[in-house]
Structure 1
Amino acid sequence: MSTKKNQSYNVITQLFRYKHSISSAEIQQKLADNDLPNSERTVQRLLSDLKNIGLDFEYNPQNRKFKFNPSDDDYQTKLIGLMVAADFMQSVAAFPTNTLQFIEFDDRVVAKGSTFLPDLFKAITTTKWIEVTYQRYENDHPKTHLVAPLFLKEFNYRWYLLAVIKTKGPGKTNMPLLFGIDRIVNLSLTDQSFNKIKLQKLSDYTAWTKGHIEKPMDLFDDVIGVRFTQAPVQEVILKFHPDQAPFIKSQPWHSTQKILVENEQEFTIEICVRPNDDLLTMILSQHGNVEVIEPKELRQSVIDMLQKSLDLYAPTKTTNKKNKR
């Protein structure tokens, strides 16, 4: 895709992001301001391309404007954000020597194992079995598996691969697992295709049964992060210090986030998830700015973790003796 075309997409998506309803004349003017092709025919072609990509908008003949119509707000937000970020990263990569003197990325942005991403994505889209050499943190020696890759997920600056291991022997069930890409030592694509439809029925595996799994990404609907759990979906109520409201609203904890209370004394939200270790980590990272109201089990887990942390700083008998002197 050409750089100018990418820039044009970026201009239009940003207009939709901030105005939600824009006219063809506004698009033309914005494109012209950025020294980009801006004829009426060009605008129509760009809009058609964006619609084919997945951006949801419709034309209103009454006010002659295109209205951004996010039927799936979370997906639309991700799509626009990805396009804007891709355009920016492409600009940085085009002239790295010049741009990197003004920009510093977090070292974790370039995650370990990210060099495998192109091959993994190719294997997923072409439904090819891949041979993966994988080393767990707790094992000294890597193991090689033949796996069917289904889905890639990024969380907390790490990439994960959802895949199904091909087991040997008749009557044995292929087992779905989550692989940390940073622990992949080597991988190679094979010329063998797998039946993606069959392997996508992940609800057949009792450990992950949820009842509404139609595609691999559905496994992550009810959890924060990547750690699966047997816990049922629950209403998690979190009470924040009111100063945290702008941050929690601008970066929701989950797609189900709903504001229950917002005033000068408190900011309380509700999310519907399966409580897991990743949720617990997010709560603890708030450094005392959040209180778990419900469920009681999660609240107690937070109390236990905070007490465990306090115990690390408890004065020892030796310290007490020194203080007495």
Structure 2
Amino acid sequence: MGKRLEGLQRMLVILNKLEGKRRYVPVEELKRYVADAMALRGYSGVTQRTLQRDFKEIESLFGISIGFDEKAHGYYIKEEDKNAPERYGQLLQNFDLLNALEGDTNLRTYVLAEHHRPLPSECLPMLISAIKHTHPVVFRYTLVRQGDKVEEKKVLPHYLKESNQRWYLLAYEGDVLKAFGADRICDLRVCENETFKRNMDIDAGELFRDCFGIWNQPDIPVEDVELKYDALDGKFLKSVPLHHSQQVLTDNADEFRIKVRLRITNDFVMELLSRSRSLEVISPPHLRERVRKVYEEALKRNE
């Protein structure tokens, strides 16, 4: 396991360097950068052969090809996949922190970490393998909103997505791409004697652009939402926006007003309620009424 962790960290370091502003990274510069970064993590010894092996692993794990330009005598990412991870630096930082906290280190004596990680699921390794090798999967699935009814599913797995400390499988059931909570999957079986053609035209960025949370429900319209908070809550919403579409309309000592554009899902409403101390829904009216009813029912329960 130690070698595997070391290799993963080294690959993330390589990606972090190659994702920089420069088109090409000279050979010796990349070797020095990787060697120095790994030395800070307690490892030593980075050879040309090690890098070449890592390049192959990066292509296998991340789907990113690294090339070498003879004229520039430097490495570069051949094709920028717009759906590939964009925040290698942050990923590396979080990985290092969690790895350090769980290892034999004094870091835990001054860092109080909340392990904000997805809840474990035994089926994840099987799902990853099925996605990688394009095998359909069969499982029994619990429908929580239908009184824990259990249905058998056969789907074509395409992605795993993490949201709110849970893993979700994005898979085609028939012609429809659906989300399945990994924690509600049981009796999973990979159909290793079958394969399917994976849909590579899915724009993952667009898929979740208009949603909050795990799923972009196409039957719910995209709407403009205007919200008002006090200045204190406004400070938090400026540092951590509610949604990528957030626009600040008013920002003064009396109020903080924003507009977002998205689908008003249950996940979004729950997020609004989490900062309800000063929240006022300005529009649309149906969202204002929905939030009012939640407050009204909560008040009755807690009288």
* TM superposition score normalised by structure 1: 0.64
Distance (whole Å) between structure 2 residues aligned to residue 146 and residue 308 of structure 1 = 40
Give the alignment of 1:13-92 within 5 angstroms: 31=37, 34=40, 76-77=86-87, 79-92=88-101
- 2:231–2:254 contact (8 Å) kept in structure 1: yes
1:178 equivalenced with 2:169 (yes/no): no
Aligned residues: 274
Compared with structure 1, are the counterparts of its residues 215 and 126 closer, same or farther at alpha carbon in structure 2 (3 Å cutoff)? farther
Superposed displacement of residue 102, structure 1: 7.1
Superposed displacement of residue 181, structure 1: 1.1
Matched with 2:225 is 236
- 1:150–1:216 contact (8 Å) kept in structure 2: no
Give the alignment of 1:96-135 within 5 angstroms: 105-106=114-115, 109=117, 111-112=119-120, 114-135=121-142
Compared with structure 1, are the counterparts of its residues 85 and 161 closer, same or farther at alpha carbon in structure 2 (3 Å cutoff)? same
The secondary structure found in structure 2 opposite 1:237 is strand
Unaligned runs of 5+ in 1: 55-70, 166-172, 201-212, 315-325
With 26-35 and 281-290 compared, the bigger mean Cα shift is at 26-35
Superposed displacement of residue 233, structure 1: 1.4
* TM superposition score normalised by structure 2: 0.68
1:280 equivalenced with 2:288 (yes/no): no
Letter in 2 for 1:308: E
What does the per-residue CA deviation read over 1:157-201, in whole Å, with 9 as the maximum and x for residues that have no partner? Answer: 122212223xxxxxxx5444321111112212112111222xx7x
Q: Let me know the Cα RMSD of the aligned residues.
A: 4.7
Matched with 2:211 is 223
Distance (whole Å) between structure 1 residues aligned to residue 118 and residue 18 of structure 2 = 30
Unaligned runs of 5+ in 2: 23-28, 65-80
The secondary structure found in structure 1 opposite 2:282 is strand
1:136 equivalenced with 2:146 (yes/no): no
Distance (whole Å) between structure 1 residues aligned to residue 86 and residue 214 of structure 2 = 22
Compared with structure 1, are the counterparts of its residues 116 and 12 closer, same or farther at alpha carbon in structure 2 (3 Å cutoff)? same
Compared with structure 1, are the counterparts of its residues 120 and 141 closer, same or farther at alpha carbon in structure 2 (3 Å cutoff)? same
Superposed displacement of residue 299, structure 1: 1.8
The secondary structure found in structure 1 opposite 2:136 is strand
Superposed displacement of residue 140, structure 1: 5.6
Higher helix share: 1
Compared with structure 1, are the counterparts of its residues 234 and 142 closer, same or farther at alpha carbon in structure 2 (3 Å cutoff)? closer
Matched with 2:25 is none
Matched with 2:166 is 158
Distance (whole Å) between structure 2 residues aligned to residue 109 and residue 281 of structure 1 = 20
Matched with 1:62 is none
Bigger Cα Rg = 1
Q: What is the percent sequence identity of the aligned residues?
A: 25
- 1:28–1:38 contact (8 Å) kept in structure 2: no
Matched with 2:68 is none
Letter in 2 for 1:282: E
